[in-house]
Amino acid sequence: MQSHAKAVIIGGGMMGVGLAYHLAEEGWTDVVLVEKGELTSGSTWHAAGQCPSFIGNYNMAKIHHYSNTLYPRLEELTGQPAGWHGCGGIRLATTQEEVDWFNYVAGFAPNVGFHMEVIGPDRIKELNPWLQTDGILAGAYTNMDGHVDPSSACNAMAAGARQMGVTIIRRNRVMDIKQRASGEWDVFTEQGSITCEHVVNAGGCYAREVGLWVGLDTPITNMEHHFLVTEALDEFKTWEGELPVMRDPATAGYYRQEQKSGLVGIYEHYGAKEAWDHRGGSPEWESENELFDGDIDRIAPWLEQAFERMPVFANAGIKRIINGAIPHTPDGNPLAGPAPGLRNFWQCCGSSIGIAQGAGVGKYLAQWMVHGDAEINMACTDPRRFGGFADQDYTRAKSFEDYHEMFVTPLPGREAAAGREARTTPLYEPLKAKGAAFTQVYGWERPKYFAPEGFTEDLQFRRNNLFQIVAEECRAVRERAGIMDLSSFAKFDVTGPGAEALLNHLTANRLPKKTDGINLTHVLSDNGRIEGEWTITRLAEDRFYVLSGAGTERMVQDQLSFAAGNDAVITNVTDDYGMLVVAGPRSREVLAPLTDADLSNSAFRWLSGQEITIAGIPVRALRVNYVGELGWELHAPMAQLAALYSAIWEAGEPHGIADFGVQAVNSLRMEKAYRGYGAELTNEITLIEADCTRFYAADKGDFKGRTATEAVRGKGIATRLVYGEVAAGDCDIYGGETVMQGDKVVGVCTSGGYGHATGKSLAFAYVIPDACDGLEVVILGRRRAFTLLDAPAWDPSNARQKA
């Protein structure tokens, strides 16, 4: 066995093999994959092999689509059959909300590359003559997908990886992993050790155990999942075609043709069971090709409904029942990217539909590892989206929920019930008592909106009964003053004689020169792609306060810590400081009686920060906000946040102060054309395409990503960010919608919302550089005019913020 390698992959299922294949394609052939048993012997071999194009997440759809384009070509590429069945798929809708969701996904399908039609019951019946269509309104028909034999596809990719130079070692269990002082890794196996630059945890159901070797608590839960195969059906013996894979929320599962038999899989809505629950959810290392006893009673309610939909299955005997383990993460997306806190340790695990995702995850993770960036937005798979809040209890609760709700339509505004209150501020209960509805981000409970007692949001893709509630919150901020608990920001103190040099190296804008200065800046990859957006306040000569979005806390920690020398100290103060936003034209009048500090424009200018006292509480007051009004962010000790809020509320009542939530923030920021990290600002693009050159100081000296950004500026761009007004009707932009110019697809929307102060439906989109006129966006199946604006819809001169 070789003793050194560029990368070692631990695990030989579809995820690990998919990565090995694509690392070789990207040029890394000095790769060793180590599998303790045979390839596929964990959860790959017993999977049903569905490969749907249809999925509600735009970037996950790209991952699925790539898999569905590779599997049909694997035999040609590797010489080994992959067992591809390109029969297509149909997801069924029985409510108008589900039909709207279908139209939403159909709207982004052209940008992803797959064909999708929303079809009626008659067309569904043509494609599946045995289906009972009573109560069915529509179907989402995708004809470029199907199902694949998992073992064949995995072994075909393994053959291709070997042909390109990858070494695959079977029957060799990894025993431990340790990092050297040099940063290299030692992977200890039963057959010896391998020293490598990169390690990948592709351990499947064992991924948590693999992670623990290096101090990681990998957030997955292994769930039992049933599917069954019937005896051969007489009806199928003379049927020359192959039925599409049917996906049916009413049956909580899928059903399809399996040669001349039927196959039915169920994700029960309740009563699911954790695999190996007698061992705390952990398999034994000796486990191989393991299945569990079938439990027909557990899945019977949904199985009966499947038989009602497909009566042809009901009269057939059951040939076999498969009940095997599949890993689930708290949000249902795989873990694919860098592990937090460790250099060159990567996660490639946690996929509950690993056959559909194995090739696509492998492709884009390989790009990330080899080139430093992937060509798609990887935020939805980045393992750093989970923090310390995602402990075993949280992970188990959320993973059970993800399993139970695999076939629940993800309507906008829908809030998951499990794993709540993982991170709260002292204002959580008081604001809940005032009618706050909360949403969760990075474990934090954030106010979403404030509603009267008894209010229930009517969840749908169109404007709903929340519309006027949000309008009132926006009106309060625009006309009077609003207050919001936005403590979820990631917050870091960066201090020491090397602090300025560190931040200058990492960010693209100039640092503020004056003590009290604030700037907005971006962190770039070596390729110039956007990896973060920070607000930096200089509190002293060698003391800086760095803020970033909530979901980036672990990423920022790594960006700072990995680059810091001994002369800079990084302190995560996220939990130490709460933060209140006080904004609106009367915000100065609200705050002035509570402080001895001079809040006048001359003494406390826009884009400056001061350490002051408000209501006797020490506060880092920053004159900046994300809503485009006069106002302050007030960062106070978390323990005193409730007292600060109470004092401000009492002082603000004569001025009509009101609570507001993140729904209103989105409306207000869209009116100001403020970009969002993860939407407009992603690892796919540079500051040039994002039209953010005002935050790019190429002449300040060298910094990370500068050379690559200059190259893009010199070469020219293939896409550019635009902002405009949509003739939206009763539905606004969510993100992912296709931009059309005549019959040509010219771009994709990234985010949007209704501006209540301007009365405009607004959107951001990336389009080809010369696309300016005659643009339309596809919203729920209808084309709507998209008129570009050359300035923010609200206060383009920033006069209100500077007041």
As a three-state string, the secondary structure of 657-725 is CEECCHHHHHHHHHHCCCCCECCCECCCCECCCCCCHHHCCHHHCCCCCHHHHHHHHHHCCCCEEEEEE
629 touches 586 (CB < 8 A): no
Q: In angstroms, what is the C-alpha Rg of the chain?
A: 27
The percentage of residues in the chain with a pLDDT greater than 70, rounded to a whole number, is 100
Answer whether residue 286 shows pLDDT above 90. Answer: no
Rounded CA separation 803/797 (Å): 11
Tokens 């009573």 locate to 134
Backbone conformation region of residue 496, classed left if phi is above 0, alpha if psi is from -120 to 50, else beta: left
Cα separation of the two ends of the chain: 70
pLDDT of residue 392: 95
Question: How many other CB atoms are found less than 10 A from the CB of residue 510?
Answer: 16
Burial class (CB in 10 A: 0-12, 13-18, 19+), 271: exposed
pLDDT-based confidence at residue 178 (cuts at 50, 70, 90): very high
3-state secondary structure of 413: coil
Return the sign of the alpha-carbon dihedral for residues 524, 525, 526, 528.
Answer: negative
Taking only the tens place, the pLDDT of each residue in 686-729 is: 999 999 999 999 999 999 999 999 999 999 999 999 999 999 99
Of 44, 136, 67, 55, nearest to 96 (Cα)? 136
pLDDT of residue 514: 95
Residues 608/623, Cβ–Cβ less than 8 Å: yes
Q: Is 404 helix (H, G, I), strand (E, B) or coil?
A: helix
**Strand boundaries in 331-458, DSSP class E:** 335-338, 345-349, 436-441, 444-450
Place of tokens 């906008």: 412
If phi > 0 it is left, if psi is from -120 to 50 it is alpha, else beta; for residue 707 that is alpha
Give the model confidence (pLDDT) of 607-620 as tens digits. 999 999 999 999 99
Average pLDDT, the chain: 97
342-391 pLDDT, tens digit per residue, is: 999 999 999 999 999 999 999 999 999 999 999 999 999 999 999 999 99
Q: Can you read off the two tokens belonging to residue 428?
A: 């959580």
Token pair 């059951």 is found at: 318
Cα-flanking dihedrals φ and ψ of residue 226, to 5°? -100, 140
| pTM exceeds cut of 0.85 | yes
pLDDT in tens, 113-165: 999 999 999 999 999 999 999 999 999 999 999 999 999 999 999 999 999 99
CA distance 798 to 582: 17
**pLDDT over 90 at 282, yes or no:** no
Report residue 476: phi and psi, to 5°: -60, -45
Q: Would the pLDDT of 278 be above 90? A: no
Please compute the mean of the pLDDT values over residues 434-462 and round it to a whole number. 97
Mean of pLDDT values over 603-632: 98
Task: Tell whether the model's pLDDT for residue 26 goes beyond 90.
Answer: yes
Note the pLDDT tens digit of each residue in 463-521. Answer: 999 999 999 999 999 999 999 999 999 999 999 999 999 999 999 999 999 999 999 99
Q: What is the mean pLDDT of residues 739-759?
A: 98
Per-residue pLDDT tens for 83-122? 999 999 999 999 999 999 999 999 999 999 999 999 999 9
> How high is the pLDDT of residue 687?
98
Pair 463, 779: CB distance under 8 Å: no
